[in-house]
Structure 1
Amino acid sequence: MNQHANAPVLSGPALEGLEDYASIMDVFHASVRRFADKPAFSCMGKTLSYAELDQLSGDFAAWLQHETDLEPGDRIAIQLPNLLQFPIAVFGALRAGLVIVNTNPLYTEREMQHQFSDSGAKAILILANMADKLERVIARTKIRHVLITQIGDIHGFPKRLLINAAVKHLKKMVPRYSLPMAVGFRQALSKGRSLEHREVVRQQEDVAALQYTGGTTGLAKGTMLTHCNLVANMLQSRAVISDVLGEGCETVIAPLPVYHIYTFTVNCLFMMETGNHTVLIPNPRDIDGFIKTLKTTKYTGFVGLNTLFNALCNREDFRSLDFSSLKLTISGGMALTKPVAKRWEEITGCPVAEGYGMTETSPVVSFNPPRAIQLGTIGKPVPGTSVKVVDGDGEALPFGEAGELCVKGPQVMRGYWNRPEDTAVTLDAEGWIRTGDIAVLQEDGYIRIVDRKKDMIIVSGFNVYPNEIEDVVAGHPDVIEACAVGVPDETNGEVIKLFVVSRNEALDAETLRQWCRKQLTAYKVPKLIEFRDELPKTNVGKVLRRELRDA
């Protein structure tokens, strides 16, 4: 990528403090000592203090070190919703020197198998609710250590037994499974308490997490995020938020999935670094239960995205809540619309600060200064970060001209796991990463996104790549060809529309949806399906996706 003499590079201020930490664990140990008696994480009425998080994660680390043959650098998959088990497992695994592989609990067997095989994960902590899926794929992976947890496992007696019994026997949410080698998570913690944890030294350049992201080929790629990447993003987040949120005195609501890079960094890592309190919401789709939690919690921060803000604002019981303590609302994951942002501020009295990021940047690149929010922009580069926009030839463009947004900074990934060719396409020798998003740099230092990767669909903040859907649909014996596009939707931001050419006139939309549900996570299943005699193509046979989208 070349640089015109008059083309701007927007840069945030210098990033301070990164050299003070060799790894995430250095940050963790400092925080648990400093904020020992402060609440760290809460879920379903149970709260862990930083001292308890330190103890439990140490117990898990000791079990991993003494009861398995796992070595520093080995990968462990964590497939959990927003439960207290998540931070215990993450920090315990990191303390044992392992690499975290965050895994979506909604994944199908096909998606699980790909991620576990690609990452080479040797261990997994999984919720009992999806252990039957693991049973069916484990033989095709390298996983040899299985830990299973139930939803209520971190709660005390008798609440633990009541929660687990209700989930298993009343709600019938735990299918039968057989994994004879599996160890209960509670059992591992109990055993680990009697064992001695050995501190493992990790360096900034060591990989801390493999965070999977969709690819244009439809295969999810493992983004290698180092300790340096994630510590840098913690400190960058602190720098842009510290004038609104303090240390050890804030409570922030976390309704978005913590296995997603957005919540993983902001709530699991940044909130830990500042000694603040995260309230994990296991199922934000249960709006009644969600609002009940909000009603009984005095919270000062809220991390969400456009569709969630919209859904809550449409609820009378939400509008009647007390928002007097709310100081900061953060939006990310998908574009924030002005009508939703304005309505949220009218109802809560708190403006929404929108940021921008991607899995490959740990994720935060830019953020709207909370006291100088400019709606319609993604804010300014965070400290230590530089951005520019380039044309199709890689030439940097001046202010006001739209081009592909490129980012450089300490939070930029090392590369894609075992994919040097994909890494070379995205990341250049100077450390600039091409985001694929089209942006305009403003002379006042703010950045505006005007378009995004032309094919990617964003459903409720989740990236969906059309080729993956098309590959699954093409496997149906009655389908000749298919094309998936995103169409605007008030509830989800976008929904997936599928155009299909079939060889069987009797094939209907619901049959195709059932086919997709067997192989794709629910949010990837097309909502709209249209059958056509043929799809529009270029003269070389490529489907004109934009023509279908515009239609």
Structure 2
Amino acid sequence: MALPPFRTLPDLLREHAAALGDAPALRQGERSMSWRDYDAMADRVAASLQRDGIEPRQSIAVCAANSIEYACVFLGALRAGIAVAPLPTTSLPAQIAGMANDSGARHFFVDGGVPAFETKARRYDLNALDGWLVPAGTKPRPVEIQPEWPFNIIYSSGTTGTPKGIVQSHAMRWAHVARSGGYGWNRRSVALLATPMCSNTTLVCFLPALAGGGCVVLMEGRFDPASYLATAQKHRVTHAMLVPVQYQRLMAFPDFDAYDLSSFHMKFCTSAPFSAALKAEVLKRWPGGLVETYGMTEGGGTLVLEAHRFPDKLHTVGKPGEGHDIRVIDEDGKELPSGEIGEVVGRSPAMMTAYHNQPAKTREAEWFDAEGQRYIRTGDVGRFDADGFFTLLDRRKDMIISGGFNLYPSDLEAVVRGHACVRDVSVVGVPSAKWGESPVAFVVPAADAPGPDELRAWANERLGKTQRLADVIYLDELPRSDIGKVLKRELRDRYAARK
């Protein structure tokens, strides 16, 4: 299906402001901003950036907690044709400075939670924008945004090494927005955001909500189930994006069923493995549909599971989205038939332009078919079933090769998770003189859990001979990124440090 004619988010903001006026566009705690004021503030930001000599296709960086001011700077920059590099606040100062410099940002917007450090960009405080902004009512010079211009530069989470700047174009973002239209985004929508705006996870909910003219509610502070549920009930939320660990915490919250969530139309999940059992519990206890999306910030192909429509396929990540071409290749880059296990590659209208300033990394991320069409490599391993649904096994780099056998951590994790006293688990491969690699399970136990050796014995009774765990380590919590991905590299490092 062809996409609708190209539109830009700043133009849609202008149209909604004219139509909706004083209706709320953004909410944050007890604060709110109308569509009319949002549009006017985007104008002031755009005009201020133009005054400072920042040209279309150049960039700014933002490193801050979610806020109304953040949303205003983001849309104002886009209105001036300027790309935004949203940076994670949880990175080390040197990493943040490195990402800001790599992005080429001319201005760097922060809040009080970001420490001072040197960058090439001039620093501004989001909490004190008035001193920087042009006077109210100032209009920016019109900019005709082109589809191929950069929309944002999102830096990878760093779970696989030094963060890479992923350049996403306006065309790619328009493809995301246009293809989300079937999920009920409109001027009556209320979207609740509880993940940081530096992540693609958040933007694939934030942007369709704005494009549809809905209200976006920004959660403050660390994720807290009680606060989240109270906010959802208060604002009659219709749409939400959460990562699996947040769904897990909500389902475990004792008072979950006491809240009125009947306003929900659709919930989304992405960014990390989402167990079939957890999906089933969300479907049973939380009104509205549930959509799991598997894809990459880099774009390429996307797999979609509408869990409420296919309750017998909860162990999968769904089928390719409409207009998305997903294939599976072997180690040599040869395409494999359906049913065979291999690396996922994908092609669609929503694909990154490149890794910023890293042409070699860009080439590594690309695969071309016999006709020369470009696909994005995911580094993930899985297979299609006879019905065209895809079962995701693991990251290729996380696969454990023990005694010549390929072990998929997700298979081992599923067994360990079956113990009633296991709250969370992640399995990694560690060096072994005898086997090359051996699997080790890092477990977050319940209060009444048996000792690690007893749990290991229990699991090994249920695992195949080649899959048996070499060790079980108890942790208070698993190390995770901003959007809930387990940092397996950190687990490997922790294990090595024990020796």
TM-score class, shorter: 0.7 to 0.9
Aligned to 2:210: 272
Aligned to 1:543: none
Secondary structure class of the residue paired with 1:60: helix
Aligned to 1:529: 494
Counterparts of 2:247 and 2:498, CA distance in 1: 40
- Residues 448, 210 of structure 1: CA spacing in aligned structure 2 closer, same or farther, 3 A cutoff? same
Q: CA deviation at 1:246?
A: 4.5
Aligned to 1:49: 34
Counterparts of 2:226 and 2:314, CA distance in 1: 30
Aligned to 2:330: 391
Q: CA deviation at 1:487?
A: 4.7
8 Å Cα contact 1:38-1:248 kept in structure 2: no
1:102 aligns with 2:102: no
Q: CA deviation at 1:523?
A: 8.1
Secondary structure class of the residue paired with 1:122: strand
Identify which of 387, 390, 393 aligns with 1:444.
387
Q: CA deviation at 1:366?
A: 2.3
Q: CA deviation at 1:26?
A: 3.7
- Residues 216, 82 of structure 1: CA spacing in aligned structure 2 closer, same or farther, 3 A cutoff? closer
Aligned to 1:212: 155
- Residues 366, 488 of structure 1: CA spacing in aligned structure 2 closer, same or farther, 3 A cutoff? farther
Structure 1, unaligned runs of 5 or more:
1-13, 151-183, 459-463, 467-482, 492-515, 535-551
Secondary structure class of the residue paired with 1:116: helix
- Where in structure 2 are the equivalents of 1:497-512 lying within 5 Å? none
- Which amino acid is 1:404 matched to? E
8 Å Cα contact 2:280-2:314 kept in structure 1: no
Aligned to 2:98: 114
Counterparts of 1:407 and 1:28, CA distance in 2: 31
Aligned to 1:360: 298
Q: CA deviation at 1:259?
A: 1.6
Q: CA deviation at 1:351?
A: 4.9
- Residues 486, 261 of structure 1: CA spacing in aligned structure 2 closer, same or farther, 3 A cutoff? farther
- Which amino acid is 2:145 matched to? R
Q: CA deviation at 1:531?
A: 5.5
- Which amino acid is 1:392 matched to? E
- Which amino acid is 1:354 matched to? E
8 Å Cα contact 1:31-1:275 kept in structure 2: yes
- Where in structure 2 are the equivalents of 1:447-486 lying within 5 Å? 447-455=390-398
- Which amino acid is 1:387 matched to? I
Secondary structure class of the residue paired with 1:454: helix
- Which amino acid is 1:292 matched to? A
Structure ranking higher on relative contact order (CA contacts 8 Å, 6+ apart): 1
1:345 aligns with 2:329: no
- Which amino acid is 1:108 matched to? L
Identify which of 247, 250, 267 aligns with 2:189.
250
Q: Deviations over 1:219-243 (max 9, x none)?
A: 111111011111111112224x2xx
Counterparts of 2:240 and 2:384, CA distance in 1: 28
1:227 aligns with 2:158: no
Q: Deviations over 1:20-78 (max 9, x none)?
A: 33x44344434444444443221112222222211111111112112x12122221001
Identify which of 302, 308, 321 aligns with 1:382.
321
Percent identity between matched residues is: 23
- Residues 194, 299 of structure 1: CA spacing in aligned structure 2 closer, same or farther, 3 A cutoff? closer
Identify which of 73, 89, 98 aligns with 2:57.
73
Q: Deviations over 1:52-107 (max 9, x none)?
A: 211111111112112x1212222100112121112111100111121100111222
Identify which of 62, 65, 72 aligns with 2:47.
62
- Residues 305, 353 of structure 1: CA spacing in aligned structure 2 closer, same or farther, 3 A cutoff? same
Secondary structure class of the residue paired with 1:93: helix
- Residues 533, 443 of structure 1: CA spacing in aligned structure 2 closer, same or farther, 3 A cutoff? closer
Secondary structure class of the residue paired with 1:316: coil
Identify which of 117, 124, 127 aligns with 1:147.
124
Secondary structure class of the residue paired with 1:248: coil
- Residues 299, 440 of structure 1: CA spacing in aligned structure 2 closer, same or farther, 3 A cutoff? same
- Which amino acid is 1:203 matched to? Q
Aligned to 1:195: 138
- Residues 315, 122 of structure 1: CA spacing in aligned structure 2 closer, same or farther, 3 A cutoff? same
Q: CA deviation at 1:119?
A: 1.3
Aligned to 1:85: 69
1:330 aligns with 2:268: yes
- Which amino acid is 1:117 matched to? N
Structure 2, unaligned runs of 5 or more:
400-408, 411-425, 429-436, 446-478
Aligned to 2:463: none
- Residues 489, 39 of structure 1: CA spacing in aligned structure 2 closer, same or farther, 3 A cutoff? farther
Aligned to 2:468: none
- Which amino acid is 2:237 matched to? Y
Counterparts of 1:29 and 1:212, CA distance in 2: 29
Counterparts of 2:497 and 2:166, CA distance in 1: 38
Counterparts of 1:259 and 1:217, CA distance in 2: 17
8 Å Cα contact 1:344-1:351 kept in structure 2: no
- Residues 490, 449 of structure 1: CA spacing in aligned structure 2 closer, same or farther, 3 A cutoff? farther
8 Å Cα contact 1:78-1:100 kept in structure 2: yes
Aligned to 1:180: none
Counterparts of 1:486 and 1:55, CA distance in 2: 55
Q: Deviations over 1:194-228 (max 9, x none)?
A: 53311212211111111111568721111110111
- RMSD of the alignment, in Å? 3.1
- Which amino acid is 1:39 matched to? P
The TM-score, its normalising length taken from structure 2, stands at 0.77
1:321 aligns with 2:259: yes
Counterparts of 1:531 and 1:222, CA distance in 2: 30
Q: CA deviation at 1:308?
A: 0.6
Counterparts of 2:89 and 2:342, CA distance in 1: 36
- Residues 486, 206 of structure 1: CA spacing in aligned structure 2 closer, same or farther, 3 A cutoff? farther
1:416 aligns with 2:355: yes
The TM-score, its normalising length taken from structure 1, stands at 0.70
- Which amino acid is 1:329 matched to? K
Counterparts of 2:53 and 2:354, CA distance in 1: 27
